[in-house]
Amino acid sequence: MVVLVTLLLLLLLVLVGMLLARLELYIDTYRQLYRVRWGIAFSARVDTEGEFPALVAHFGPFRKRWSVLELLKRKTKDKQAEHKAPSKKKTGAKKDKPFPSRLVWAMLKTFRCRQFQMELDTDDYVWNAWLFTPIYLTPALRERVTVNFMGHNGLILQIDNRLWNIGIVALRHFLGIK
């Protein structure tokens, strides 16, 4: 009995830890760094060191590496096989549910932007000049976005959230609580 209670408490502790762990997305095009991290349990990044990019995932002590080129080849093979398969006729009309745009918008609003810096060049001097004025005149944009005429483009973006926040929004939506 004591072992069962201990196991249930341990499972509950792991679930609470997963709900409260921070989910983070980080993009840095200057250093070619792209990663997703969920607490200390899971992380995934794009490795751009080799000839072809690779997706590297860590789940606890386990590590897996996939070549992006092989994943794309596999996806095209699956699509080709899907097109060759005979299609089945649907019997009866199925009523489509409307897209839950309010739910999606409410979930997106729970994300927090921790860092944002963008450098922009459209390769057209006229467009750059048109963009420079409104960006420079808007103080919030002026701190985060720069327009240059030298061909440099770059982005640093860090957003995060907790699974708890997304779950609360979904629960409120399905229960009809505003």
- Pick the range with the lowest mean pLDDT from 27-31, 68-72, 106-110: 68-72
Q: What is the DSSP string of 48-113?
A: -SSSS-EEEEEETTEEEEEEHHHHHHHHHHHHHHHHHSPPPPPPSPPPPPPP-HHHHHHHHHT-EE
Q: What integer pLDDT is reported at residue 91 of this predicted model?
A: 60
Q: What integer pLDDT is reported at residue 80 of this predicted model?
A: 72
Q: What integer pLDDT is reported at residue 3 of this predicted model?
A: 92
In this prediction the pTM is 0.76
